[in-house]
A = this chain, B = another copy of it.
């Protein structure tokens, strides 16, 4: 029965389609997540010196009038945005430490001014320590120091170069 084969094909096609839709939906979601100011900004070009792609090579626009960035742009922007957020968090955190230290110098325990709540998604995301509150100072309190680097901020260190093979 060659009809069996046919069915299989259709099934597969369907599955494929769903997979694609999933992916596309996520990309679209990323686009929604990125602030417009960021989207329409030349892009900070972190480590790639050869980027002829500056601002809007893809100034496409949707029927409703809004601009419609293509997948490549969305992805590029996503990468950039994450880097920016990571840097921002790092910096903010650094500054927080400075301020806390200053307060401590003046006899104030910064823990009194802890976050009420954040609801970063239920419990803490990384085990239990370290983030949403900063309130759970770990036992001896030594390395809550760089929760960001340890928990959120990926290592930009050289090393693995994952290729798209499998």
**Interface of A with B (CB < 8 Å)?**
19, 22-35, 37-38, 41, 44-46, 60, 62-64, 66, 68, 71-72, 75-76, 78-79, 81-89, 91-96, 98-100, 102-103, 106, 108, 110, 113-115, 118, 120-122, 125-127, 131-132, 134, 148, 151-155, 160, 162-166
Main secondary structure of the interface of A (DSSP, over half): helix
B71-A23 in contact (CB<8A)? yes
Q: Which chain B residue lies CB-closest to A134?
A: B95
Q: Pick the most buried of A22, A41, A102, A115: most chain B CB atoms within 10 A of its CB.
A: A102
Question: Which residues of B are found within 8 Å of A163, using beta-carbon distances?
Answer: 28, 62
Q: How far is the CB of A146 from chain B (nearest CB, A)?
A: 12
Contact of A153 among B35, B64, B92, B106 (CB under 8 A): B35
Q: Which chain B residue lies CB-closest to A116?
A: B94
